[in-house]
Amino acid sequence: MNRIPAFVDILINTFTTLINQFIDFVPRIIGAAFIMAIGFGVAKGLALLVCKVLERVGFNRIGDRLTEIDFIKRLNTEIKLSDIVAKVLYYFVLLIFLMAATETLGVSAITEMVKSLVDFIPHLIAAAIMIQVGVLLADALKGAVVTLCQSFNIASGRLLGMIVFFFFLIITLISALGQAGINTELLESSFNLLIGGVIFAFAIGYGIASRDVMANILSSFYSKNRFHEGQTIRVGEIKGTIVQIDNTSLTLQTDSTVTIIPLQTLQSQSVEVFD
């Protein structure tokens, strides 16, 4: 008979403990909710303020420059950097207040998880900046390569420019992933092997295909001081007046025709100059 009162006492003590814990936990919940409410307001206000300031100082012009790049233009994506920065700031501030709220609740596991997210955001921002700068530099290098190829009348200048663009872009992406804390050793090794093979094959193939073009370009350095427009010369059986000289060829005007002669021909055949 004594077992029943003892069981009742156990139930009473259990419910009393639960009620006390609940009463103790309610202020924590209210405090956490209050902190989150303040966090939402502060995050929203800072995001709006930063967005307006960045728009006024012309920060979006960088995004417009990125949108003009061919690779990004094909994605049909509008990049508005002020909105992106404002969003990142909004969630960053919100996570800080969330971490404070979880500390108020006393849930250490959630607090550590939120803290790891807060610590990760600066690395993510640095990686995003690296990618942005890398894309701009890659596009600038692409333009420089295309312009250089056009100045030397080298075929496939646009193709070479795209290769340089994606090569530098991939290097930037790998560096950004490393900055974000992601292990990229395997990716770097695979990329190095792939690029090495591609460069080796491309160098051999392009070198063989463009040997005549390079021979003409080299010949131009030897010929530009010896010949000039308006001069009458004979190359083999062809006699005419020079009307144009570029980096790879010489144009002769004969009595009835116009003949284009590769500059390397001037090094392999005898040339007779009349004036």
CB-based contacts of 171: which residues, under 8 Å, 6+ apart?
134
pLDDT for res 207 = 57
Cα(50)–Cα(61) distance, rounded to whole angstroms? 16
pLDDT for res 83 = 84
Q: Which residues of the chain have pLDDT under 70?
A: 1-12, 15, 18, 20-23, 71, 75, 77, 154-155, 188, 191, 197-225, 247-248, 263-264, 266-270, 275
Q: What one-letter code names the amino acid at 44? A: K
Answer whether CATH 1.10.287 is correct for domain 120-209: yes
pLDDT for res 224 = 59
pLDDT for res 45 = 92
The tokens of 274 are what? 């009349």
Parallel, antiparallel or unpaired: strands 271-273 and 258-262: unpaired
Distances (CA, A) of 58 to 21, 64, 67, 90: 54, 10, 15, 20
Cα(264)–Cα(266) distance, rounded to whole angstroms? 5
Q: How many other β-carbons are positioned within 10 Å of the β-carbon of residue 82? A: 20
Cα(188)–Cα(174) distance, rounded to whole angstroms? 7
Q: How many other β-carbons are positioned within 10 Å of the β-carbon of residue 16? A: 10
DSSP string, the chain: -THHHHHHHHHHHHHHHHHHHHHHHHHHHHHHHHHHHHHHHHHHHHHHHHHHHHHHTTTHHHHHHHHTSHHHHTTT----HHHHHHHHHHHHHHHHHHHHHHHHHT-HHHHHHHHHHHHHHHHHHHHHHHHHHHHHHHHHHHHHHHHHHHHTT-TTHHHHHHHHHHHHHHHHHHHHHHHTT---HHHHHHHHHHHHHHHHHHHHHHHHHTHHHHHHHHHHHHHTTT--TT-EEEETTEEEEEEEE-SSEEEEE-SS-EEEEETTHHHHS-EEE--
Q: What one-letter code names the amino acid at 2? A: N
Cα(88)–Cα(121) distance, rounded to whole angstroms? 8
pLDDT for res 132 = 80
Cα(238)–Cα(234) distance, rounded to whole angstroms? 5
CATH number of 221-273: 2.30.30.60
Instruction: Give tens-digit pLDDT for 137-180.
Output: 888 888 888 888 777 776 677 877 888 888 888 888 888 888 77
pLDDT for res 1 = 47
pLDDT for res 44 = 92
**Chain centre to alpha carbon of residue 269:** 50
- Give pTM, 2 decimals: 0.56
